[in-house]
Chain A
Amino acid sequence: MSNEATVHGHSEVTTHEVHHDDHHGHHHQDTFITKYIFSQDHKMIGKQFLITGIVWAIIGGLFSVLFRLQLGFPDQSFPILEDLLGSKWAAGGKIQPEFYYALVTMHGTVLVFFVLTAGLSGTFANLLIPLQIGARDMASPFMNMLSYWFFFLASIVMISSLFVQTGPASGGWTSYPPLSALGDASEGSKAGMDLWLVSMALFVVSSLLGGLNYIATILNMRTKGMTMTRLPLTIWALFFTAVLGVLSFPVLFSGFILLLFDRHAGTSFYLSDIFLASTQKPLPNEGGSAILYQHLFWFLGHPEVYIILLPAMGMASEILSTNSRKPIFGYMAMIASLFAICVLAFLVWAHHMFVTGLNPFLGSFFVLLTLLIAVPSAIKVFNWLTTIWRGNIRFTPGMLFALGFISMFISGGLTGIFLGNSTLDIHLHDTMFVIAHFHIVMGVASFFGMFAGVYHWFPKMFGRYLNNTLAYIHFWITLVGAYLIFWPMHYEGLAGMPRRYLDVSGWVSFNQFDGLNRFISIVSIIVFAVQLLFVFNFFYSIFKGRRVKTPNPWGSNTLEWTTPINPGHGNWEGEIPEVHRWAYDYGKDGRDFIPQTEPVSATESKH
């Protein structure tokens, strides 16, 4: 089915090209380097983030396939692994324990930071902020470019850590001391850990440069008439995302500096009273607190999950409304709940630490604040559902992924209520239940938001469509597969099956899950293969996809669709359009949609 057919039914066929590709000839000469590499055009930087993110997603996803092989088939060996990875990591075709921990650590780090932070908000904040608020570019295109290149540097350092002799960091994506602070404690705490810290510090710089730019651009550069309450919800979501990043990453940065000193300068910020089994030596450190690191880490770590989730929420809001041909339900309530989530995100970090020995009295406050997040989250869910309620839904690939996002967010959000209770968390915390919860609510849901965004804005990015057939295959297998992978993990977790373990076959009580584990592993390989299908679709369609023939293929109200099909640097050819209304006038007064640029007429009905 073609996109035009999906969007316009059978009747409308647009044939004329409204704009040509090469209209921006009046710009100064762009060389290959200034146009594609050191570009200061926000659209190109967005694409750079996206493509780097895709590369990282393949790497991070492949890691999960590797350790799922171990979890699903603990007693089998795969000789091909030894051929590919060498005898140090996969001796005899079996994944070695050190390597297993390196894999899970890198899987977490890569997907949380490099894919779902940089790849998601880096891509769409860059692409959408100037286009949707009506600006020619970011406030500081140069800093914006630096933001990408710091991310690139961070990527290089992280990649190189995979190839050092002692292997990459392997103490978990949270890198808790004392393990991460003591090089003698494990292979993964040696050079790999230093590279991890350096890479993450560069990442913080990148995120700061980007975030400052996003905030300044949204506040300062809105076009005439674009009041804050006329902004599309994508922009509101990206705004709060940037605020969260600017205020929480520096705390992580401080935590990392203290950790570096503990590693190399003989300090005891996080260390106290340690006897190291590997060297049979007591360490002189005293007075430090390992819990301190956890506080510093989770002060970022919790806002981080909203840094990941909010852009997906914003894009889903936009795509659901556009493709239901109905105004978003409860626009102000959406903004208010984004704001509430943003504030609460800073007040709940210790719910990751209920089992660390935190004072139970203190824990009860964090339980209360954590459960409070259910309120704005539920408001958003009900608003999405009411938006599509009785809508004239067009099942474009973007819309399907946005719907899938809601489904994932509900399923994963509900188990969050279980885990937010400190008493239940004592049982569930170190089990597969937690894996199931956060993968569904944060990982898969955000991925669905990201896919929705890619399918929806691909025509804006490249002037071509993604292939729909492949898109539908991608959607259905990913949706069904994600549930098949993560749903059973809830049962395993409730039964007490621990997470992080290399092999649980030594416990008779978990033998009942052998078949289930194999099943999960097989499905995850299938789902990974389908993501490669998407990657193929993505790159194929950049060059060979069907051309977009009309500037506004989805019949959308927002400003990015008033630019030429392939906008040059500067986005609009003439004046920047003025905005006269909010972004959600769909199905109003008998009209399918009314773009933001159209003045409000005297006869128009009120909302």
Chain B
Amino acid sequence: MAQAVPAEQKWWSGGKSPFNVEYGKLMMWYFLMSDAFTFGAFLISYGTIRFSSNNWPDPNEVFQSFPGLGSGYPLAFVSLMTFILIISSVTMVLAVQAGHAMDKKSVIKYLIWTIIGGLAFLSCQAWEWTHLHHEGAWWGSNPFLNMDGTKASTNFTNFFFTITGFHGFHVFSGVIINIIMLIMTINDVFERRGHYLMIEKAGLYWHFVDLVWVFVFTCFYLI
């Protein structure tokens, strides 16, 4: 019964956090798990509809434009976007690292780089959306033909705009969070607290958003 677990067991005996983290970080992890289910539901819905369709447009045909260069560069632009987002994850790691070292100046520097990376990604997405919109693509309208040349259903664009939009909204809120973190850092809030844990939590969120992009990227652009 209650004695099945020895009372002197170290981490779970109460009075301390079993994972040695404060509650906010624990909540962030559980929130990310929850959010993963949101994206999971979206991507599985996408898969369900795609595999129940007879045919589907070819991403290499759809996504082949590059700003300033015109078309004929399949997946080049989205690769750039992905690269930018992944680099912003690297700068976020550096900001967290600097926070551990209580190095306020570096935290500010790397946070600014992360924010720039996020904004750059969002700008790229805005350009891509505008471009596709000019080609006639939107929720409920799909100008692209299936791989076999037949007329496609609108679900290609429906899912594309919904899911990349939902992801873009996450990036946007991540940028807002990072800006708040930046302001708090500049105002010495974390110096007074004696730790930069908030940066770490913002970092968790940011990495999660990047990780989700890897899946979104795979599902919409690669397969």
Contact = CB atoms under 8 A, between A and B. Distances in A.
Interface in A412-445: none
A253 B45 contact: no
A13 to B, nearest CB: 33
Contact of B5 (A139, A219, A229, A246): A229
A299 interface: yes
B119 to A, nearest CB: 25
B42 A254 contact: yes
A289 B27 contact: no
Contacts of A221: 23
Contact of A220 (B4, B7, B18, B53): B18
Interface residues of A, number: 61
The winner among B19, B27, B38 for most chain A CB atoms within 10 A is: B27
Given A261-B162, A265-B139, A292-B45, A223 B30 contact: no
A267 B154 contact: yes
Contacts of A380: none
B158 A254 contact: no
Contacts of B23: 139-140, 216-217, 220-221
A299 B140 CA distance: 27
Contact of A261 (B35, B39, B139): B139
A581 B155 contact: no
Contact of B37 (A139, A225, A247, A288): A247
A490 B21 CA distance: 52
Contacts of B38: 250-251, 253-254
Interface stretch (A75-83, A207-215, A457-465, A470-478): A207-215
Interface string B1-39: 111110101001111011101111011001101110111
A267 B17 contact: no
A484 interface: no
A69 B80 CA distance: 65
Contacts of A582: 1-2
Given A250-B38, A287-B154, A228 B48 contact: no
Nearest to A247: B37
A227 B154 contact: no
Contact of A230 (B2, B15, B155): B2
The winner among A216, A246, A289 for most chain B CB atoms within 10 A is: A216
B105 to A, nearest CB: 31
A247 B33 contact: yes
A268 B21 CA distance: 44
B140 A266 contact: yes
B197 to A, nearest CB: 14
Contact of A229 (B4, B26, B31, B48): B4
A331 interface: yes
A219 B19 CA distance: 9
A573 interface: no
Nearest to B28: A212
Given A228-B5, A266-B139, A250 B34 contact: yes
Contacts of A331: 1-2
Interface in B136-156: 139-141, 153-155
Interface residues of B, number: 46
A425 to B, nearest CB: 23
A274 to B, nearest CB: 14
B37 to A, nearest CB: 4
Given A225-B13, A253-B38, A266-B140, A212 B31 contact: yes
B189 interface: no
A607 B162 CA distance: 58
B3 A288 contact: no
Contacts of A228: 5, 12
Interface in B176-220: none
A607 B34 contact: no
B101 interface: no
Given A265-B140, A292-B48, A607 B33 contact: no
Given A140-B23, A219-B18, A265-B140, A246 B41 contact: no
Contacts of B3: 606-607
Contacts of B49: 269, 287-289, 292
A607 to B, nearest CB: 5
Contacts of B53: 287
Contact of B140 (A134, A139, A267, A579): A267
A268 B37 contact: no
A213 B155 CA distance: 38
Contacts of A606: 3
A215 B12 contact: no
Contacts of A21: none
Contact of A246 (B21, B24, B30, B154): B30
Contacts of A292: 45, 48-49
A286 B153 contact: yes
Contacts of B42: 254, 257-258
B153 A268 contact: yes
A267 B158 contact: yes
A139 B109 CA distance: 32
Interface string A228-254: 111000000000000000111111011
B213 to A, nearest CB: 17
A508 B35 CA distance: 52
Interface string A380-402: 00000000000000000000000
Interface string B32-61: 011101111110010011001100000000
A122 B53 CA distance: 43
B175 to A, nearest CB: 21
B73 interface: no
Given A139-B23, A247-B33, A226 B162 contact: no
Interface string A571-601: 0000000111110100000000000000000
Contacts of B33: 246-247
A139 B27 contact: yes
A225 B1 contact: no
A483 B51 CA distance: 47
A257 B154 CA distance: 17
B16 to A, nearest CB: 8
B126 to A, nearest CB: 19
B7 A225 contact: yes
Contacts of B9: 227
A104 B155 CA distance: 33
B14 A579 contact: yes
B127 interface: no
Contacts of B140: 265-268
Interface of B: 1-5, 7, 9, 12-15, 17-19, 21-24, 26-27, 30-31, 33-35, 37-42, 45, 48-49, 52-53, 139-141, 153-155, 158-159, 162, 166
Shortest 6 CB-CB contacts between residues of A and residues of B: A266-B140, A582-B2, A287-B153, A224-B15, A226-B14, A254-B41
9 contacts: A134-B14, A140-B23, A140-B27, A220-B22, A229-B5, A251-B37, A265-B158, A287-B154, A606-B3
Given A222-B14, A287-B155, 15 more contacts: A140-B27, A216-B27, A227-B5, A227-B12, A229-B5, A247-B37, A253-B38, A254-B41, A267-B155, A268-B153, A268-B154, A268-B155, A269-B45, A287-B154, A292-B49
